[in-house]
Amino acid sequence: MEELFAPPAYEWKRLSPKYRSMRQLTSLVVPLVLLTIPAVIVGVASGRWWISGLIWAAAIVIVIVRLSYVPRSWRSWGYVEREDDLYITHGVMFRSLIAVPYGRMQLVEVESGPLERAFDLASVTLKTASPETGARIPGLSPEEATRLRDRLTELGEAHASGL
Amino acid sequence: MTASQPPQHTSAPEPVVTTAGPPPVPTARPVKQTERPHPLTPFVRGWLVFVAIAIGWGRELVTSASDDQFDAGGLTWILPILGIVVVLAAVTGFVAWYFTRFVIDDEELRIETGWIFKKSTKIPFERLQSVDIIQPLAARIFGLAELRLDAGNSTTKLRYLSRGKASRLRDYLLTRAHGQRASIRELDQQAAASIFTDLGMTDQPLVQVSPQRLILSFLLSSEWLIPAAITIIIVVVTTAFGVVPLALGGLIPLIIGMLTLIWRRVIGMFNFTLAESPRGMRITRGLTNLTSQSVPINRIQGVKTSQPLLWKLLDWYRVDVDILGYGHGDGEDNESNATSVLLPVATLDEVELAIGRVLPGFDLDDIELHPSPKRVRWVRWFDFWTLRYGWDDRTLITEQGWFTHVRDVVPHAKTQSVRIEQGPLQRLLRLADVHVHTPRGPVNAVAHQLDEETARELALSQLDRARAARAAERQRRAVETVRTDDHQGEAELLAAFRTGRDQLLGAGGESEVFAIDHERVLRLYRSRHEAPRRTAVQLHALYQGWAGTDIGLELPMILDMGERSGRFFTVDRRLSGRNFSGWLQHADMAQRRPALISFLDATERLRLLPSPVPGFARLIGEGAPQQFSTLVELLSSMLRGPLENSRTQLERDVPGVAEVWNRLHGELAQRSVVPAMVHGDVCPPNAYISRGPDGPVVTGIADFSPHTVHADPLMDVAGALIFLELEPYADAAADAAWLEAIAVERHGRDVVRWIDMYRRFYGFYFSNAYAFDPQLYAWCLRQLAR
């Protein structure tokens, strides 16, 4: 099974552990916040606070499931720069492995949102002429993201070929 | 955007120049004649606005009618507003027309628009990617057409021009876009496109879809049958229960959807014609709005053939293509935008014909398709038996579906990226999908449900194949770039000799020849030619050595040589008569065959020319004259250079190439001859024909070159037969076989063996053509396979 997605004769590079922490935080906060709002509304409006209790219980179950899922999801990510192409793999239930030849890259983007910045993270996206390519590596340290961007741009220029 | 690569286009990376601000005042250049579009333009545009409003309002009326309340009172207030809008539209239309001016002449293509904010757009000719003609109904009634110019990412519209003018300008612009010189005045004589099909005089229709077939195919298509069936069911059920008004809310969108479909598939595709012109392929279509669109072959990224279930009965198919930059929606626009439909409905023969044109040189029939493993039926129980995939060294093919059977073809060189996917159920069964990504468009190549091992193998090897294909493409393009470099400094040189590109008499691998006058020609060596001066000096010496020998043929003579604008040239004597190759194409068999015999005679007389050195020798080229003690040594030395380039290619394309090679050497060793002069490339383009007392005869042989050697005189006899097969006229192969029979009659049965040996020799000798001349290379492969 693992062989299907392993790069030939290479070790996967993994994401920053900070990305796992960030995902853990969002897994904890997002369901709680999202479900607290209807829970409070139901409680205030009907006065039946036991319904709110049930909603909170559901939120806690979701949080536990998601928290247990985060480390596996984090581990599933990997990327490797080969001589001619970049491989990215991810997914726990639905797994995928994408290979983008450097010669086909049109654009390399580095992004970092406010939450990512708080965790000192950045993501790198590769674009080709095909919209289906969707090659994105999240949760990199800014240094690694910049290095990867420069490296990929350089390789892209070296391998560039027209359409 | 943090980092980017330069935009990747196949044509010159020069940007479209758009300058805002005041354009150059037309009066400042008295020579330049700017034009306005056709004076009827504002009326047509106003009319279009009126129609648009009428349709919009009509729709409103239909929707309100569904509430069972027809509001006729709306008419009273809507009419004046309508009137004002139409008048306003007409005024704006007039202003827009008045301030639009354009110049299309031998020097430039410039369009100036705007009243307050003036804009001048100048498009370099080479930058034009397509030139389309669109005739909306209203414009069509008045005999007008819109010219749509596509350059890079921007589209410039020029509306409206008279139909004849539009099609003339299109032809002119397409000629220029292909980098050829042409004068706009020459085109004035050409006939205009017709109102119904918009095919130029020179267009050859490849496939025409008859209205009957289009309509029948539409009625049988799944997209039509499903909504039609649902509509009937709804109507029947609601009528049975007597509640028809309740269903109207659902029926009306359904019916509108069906009408839109009819509009797109029948009206929009009416009279669909795929034609071939000297400037590439062209699609014309439409019942009300007539659209004519060119198909940029080099921008095609993939081909999709699909067949709805009921079309199987009639063996019909539909073909779509991915065209770079056409990625809007499903690419099937009803109105006037570029379509990605190559054929809306076609028979298998027509499909093969069309695919042969858009993917030239690809052999799709030989690709073996593999089914998915048996266990796939647990996941894809509904269509597991239709899943297929296959590949060769140039393309990947995937097939799937039975309700609509779809076959996607992606050339490896166009592969963007590759993805393996596996869901939980697939993991259980050890299956995976492989997606091959192409630019936006209808083609979506996915090899569904492969065994894990196979999937991985396919995906990884696909990357290698794509890389190899890209490298081949790069090489091909490099050759093309060299070809365009050839034209540097050319104009100046041609002007100095008072000649021009229109005086081009012939072109070969090393040089191009232009007429100066009746006596002389200018031979311009290509800049990639390694040592033109050396070649010219050696040829000059060779020709001088022949001065005292009359073999009854006109032979070339170098009158002058020099270098100007970085280009090396010679002035040669002009041989009388016409080029034999050009003449052959238009001659009938009764004229051709005696002329071919005279051609054979001429090649047999060449051996009488004296050689500057005795024995086997190369006469032109580095270190020439270079002498060899045997024929085998000489010919092996000739083969060395070309084979260095083509060895790997031949090993791939010729099964058992080593055997062919050894056989050739074995036979060459057995051949014993007295060396004589050999031209080395006696093909019809190098011969000249004139009218003699008994009809046309070959009177001159030109273009001696580095192929010229002192060797087996039979080489030229064999060459005359075997190069004839390369001529582009229909009966060339039959003529070559006939001429071979004549040669056998003259030289005896034994000669067949030696002719075949020289076929293999020339097959190897010209095999480096794979990089720049696929047709010549295919010929080489045929010679080697014999």
Other beta carbons within 10 angstroms of residue B29's beta carbon come to: 11
Runs of H (alpha helix) within B21-162: 41-65, 74-98, 137-141
In this prediction, residue A74 carries a pLDDT of 92
Q: Read off the pLDDT of each residue in B624-639 and give the average, rounded to a whole number.
A: 86
Q: Are B417 and A162 within 8 A, CB to CB?
A: no
Q: How many CA atoms lie within 13 A of B216 on its CB side?
A: 13
Q: In A, which residues are within 8 Å of B10 by CB distance?
A: 162-163
| Amino acid identity for residue B643 in this structure | L
Q: Read off the pLDDT of each residue in B609-623 and give the average, rounded to a whole number.
A: 86
Other beta carbons within 10 angstroms of residue B726's beta carbon come to: 19
Q: How many angstroms away from the CA of B745 is the closest CA of chain A?
A: 54
In this prediction, residue A82 carries a pLDDT of 85
Q: How many angstroms away from the CA of B459 is the closest CA of chain A?
A: 9
Distance CA B755, CA B296 (A): 42
pLDDT band, residue A144 (cuts 50/70/90): very high
Alpha-carbon distances of B429 from B103, B374, B422, B448, rounded to whole Å: 66, 11, 10, 13
Name the β-bridge partners of B419: A98, B435
pLDDT score of B129 more than 60: yes
pLDDT score of B771 more than 80: no
pLDDT band, residue B244 (cuts 50/70/90): confident
Q: What is the dihedral angle through the alpha carbons of B332, B350, B281, B408, rounded to the nearest 10 degrees?
A: 50
Q: Read off the pLDDT of each residue in B449-460 and give the average, rounded to a whole number.
A: 90
In this prediction, residue B407 carries a pLDDT of 93
Residue from B1, B2, B426 whose CB has the most chain A CBs within 10 Å, to mutate: B2
Interface of A with B in 21-40 (CB under 8 A): none
Q: What is the pLDDT of residues B420-429, one digit of tens each?
A: 999 999 999 9
pLDDT score of B392 more than 90: no
Alpha-carbon distances of B695 from B228, B475, B595, rounded to whole Å: 69, 46, 8
Q: In A, which residues are within 8 Å of B432 by CB distance?
A: 4
Q: In A, which residues are within 8 Å of B422 by CB distance?
A: 4-5, 94-96
Q: Are B9 and A162 within 8 A, CB to CB?
A: yes
Least confidently predicted of B55-59, B378-382, B511-515, B659-663: B55-59
Report chain B residues touching chain A, CB-CB < 8 A: 1-5, 7-10, 299, 301, 324, 327, 414-424, 427, 430, 432, 435, 437-440, 444, 452, 455-456, 459-460, 463, 466-467, 470, 473-474, 477
Residues 6 or more apart whose Cβ sits within 8 Å of residue B384: B372, B376, B377, B449
Residues 6 or more apart whose Cβ sits within 8 Å of residue A146: A110, A122
Alpha-carbon distances of B703 from A31, A37, B388, B509, B696, rounded to whole Å: 83, 89, 52, 11, 21
Residues 6 or more apart whose Cβ sits within 8 Å of residue B755: B714, B717, B718, B721, B722, B740, B743
Q: Read off the pLDDT of each residue in B391-404 and give the average, rounded to a whole number.
A: 89
Q: Are B435 and A104 within 8 A, CB to CB?
A: no
In this prediction, residue B70 carries a pLDDT of 47
Distance CA B414, CA B469 (A): 8
pLDDT band, residue B58 (cuts 50/70/90): low
Residue B405 or B201, more confident: B405
How many Cβ pairs closer than 8 A exist between chain A and B?
123
Residue from A97, A105, A146 whose CB has the most chain B CBs within 10 Å, to mutate: A97
CATH of B578-785 among 3.90.1200.10, 3.40.50.720, 3.30.465.10, 3.40.250.10: 3.90.1200.10
Residue with tokens 């991810």: A90
Distance CA B651, CA B639 (A): 15
Architecture of the CATH domain A77-159: Roll (2.30)
Question: What is the per-residue DSSP string for B441-468?
Answer: SS--EEEEEEEHHHHHHHHHHHHHHHHH
Q: What is the pLDDT of residues B154-208, one digit of tens each?
A: 778 888 888 888 888 887 887 777 766 666 665 555 544 455 555 555 567 888 8
| Amino acid identity for residue B422 in this structure | Q
For CATH 3.90.1200.10, the residue range(s) in chain B are: 578-785
Distance CA B783, CA B337 (A): 46
A163 touches B at CB < 8 Å? yes
Average model confidence (pLDDT) across chain A: 87
In this prediction, residue B432 carries a pLDDT of 93
Q: In B, which residues are within 8 Å of A107 by CB distance?
A: 1, 3-5
In this prediction, residue B22 carries a pLDDT of 43
Distance CA B524, CA B5 (A): 37
Residue with tokens 């379509």: B339
| Amino acid identity for residue A128 in this structure | T
Residues 6 or more apart whose Cβ sits within 8 Å of residue B716: B603, B604, B606, B607, B678, B679, B680, B682
Average model confidence (pLDDT) across chain B: 80
Q: Which CATH class is domain B493-573?
A: alpha beta
Q: In A, which residues are within 8 Å of B456 by CB distance?
A: 3-4
In this prediction, residue A120 carries a pLDDT of 92
Question: What is the per-residue DSSP string for B421-444?
Answer: EE-HHHHHTTEEEEEEE-SSSS--
pLDDT score of B499 more than 50: yes
Distance CA B183, CA B594 (A): 39
Tell me if A120 sits within 8 A of A81, measured CB to CB: no
A48 touches B at CB < 8 Å? no
Question: What is the per-residue DSSP string for B347-362?
Answer: EHHHHHHHHHHHSTT-
pLDDT band, residue B76 (cuts 50/70/90): low
Kindly state the tokens that stand for B157: 């519209």
Q: In B, which residues are within 8 Å of A95 by CB distance?
A: 421-422, 427
Q: In B, which residues are within 8 Å of A161 by CB distance?
A: 8, 470, 473-474
Residues 6 or more apart whose Cβ sits within 8 Å of residue B562: B568, B569, B570
Q: How many angstroms away from the CA of B456 is the closest CA of chain A?
A: 6
Q: Read off the pLDDT of each residue in B10-24 and give the average, rounded to a whole number.
A: 41
CATH of B370-400+409-482 among 2.60.40, 3.30.1340, 3.30.1150, 2.30.29: 2.30.29
Residue B80 or B447, more confident: B447
Q: Are A98 and B8 within 8 A, CB to CB?
A: no
Q: In B, which residues are within 8 Å of A136 by CB distance?
A: none
pLDDT band, residue B463 (cuts 50/70/90): confident
In this prediction, residue A57 carries a pLDDT of 92
Q: In B, which residues are within 8 Å of A162 by CB distance?
A: 8-10, 473, 477
Distance CA B440, CA A127 (A): 13
Least confidently predicted of B26-30, B298-302, B357-361: B26-30
Q: Read off the pLDDT of each residue in A74-80 and give the average, rounded to a whole number.
A: 92
Residue with tokens 């990512």: A116
Q: Are B418 and A98 within 8 A, CB to CB?
A: yes
Name the β-bridge partners of A49: none
pLDDT band, residue B489 (cuts 50/70/90): low
Supply the angle between the helices B244-262 and B222-241 in degrees, to the nearest 10: 160
In this prediction, residue A138 carries a pLDDT of 92
pLDDT score of B399 more than 90: yes
DSSP letter at B613 equals: S
pLDDT band, residue A2 (cuts 50/70/90): low
**Adjacency order of strands within the sheet including B676-678:** B626-628, B616-618, B709-711, B676-678
Q: Are B5 and A8 within 8 A, CB to CB?
A: no
Q: How many angstroms away from the CA of A43 is the closest CA of chain B?
A: 40
Residue B474 or A146, more confident: A146
- Phi and psi at B392, nearest 5°, equal -130, -160
pLDDT band, residue B419 (cuts 50/70/90): very high
Residue from B300, B429, B436, B437 whose CB has the most chain A CBs within 10 Å, to mutate: B437
Q: How many CA atoms lie within 13 A of B280 on its CB side?
A: 24
Q: Are A93 and B474 within 8 A, CB to CB?
A: no
Q: Read off the pLDDT of each residue in B657-668 and give the average, rounded to a whole number.
A: 86
In this prediction, residue B318 carries a pLDDT of 93
In this prediction, residue B775 carries a pLDDT of 77
Secondary structure string (H, E, C) spanning B282-326: EEEECCCCEEEEEECHHHEEEEEEEEEHHHHHCCEEEEEEEECCC
A44 touches B at CB < 8 Å? no
Supply the pTM of this predicted model: 0.62
How open is the CA angle B617-B619-B624, to the nearest 5 degrees? 90
In this prediction, residue A159 carries a pLDDT of 73
Q: How many angstroms away from the CA of A17 is the closest CA of chain B?
A: 25
Q: In B, which residues are within 8 Å of A5 by CB distance?
A: 420, 422
A83 touches B at CB < 8 Å? no
pLDDT band, residue A162 (cuts 50/70/90): low
Q: Are A108 and B3 within 8 A, CB to CB?
A: yes
For CATH 3.30.200.20, the residue range(s) in chain B are: 493-573
Q: How many angstroms away from the CA of B764 is the closest CA of chain A?
A: 30
Q: Would you call B247 exposed, middle or buried from its count of C-beta atoms within 10 A (0-12, 13-18, 19+)?
A: middle
In this prediction, residue B748 carries a pLDDT of 85
Kindly state the tokens that stand for B509: 């691998």
Distance CA A147, CA A137 (A): 13
Q: Are B5 and A107 within 8 A, CB to CB?
A: yes
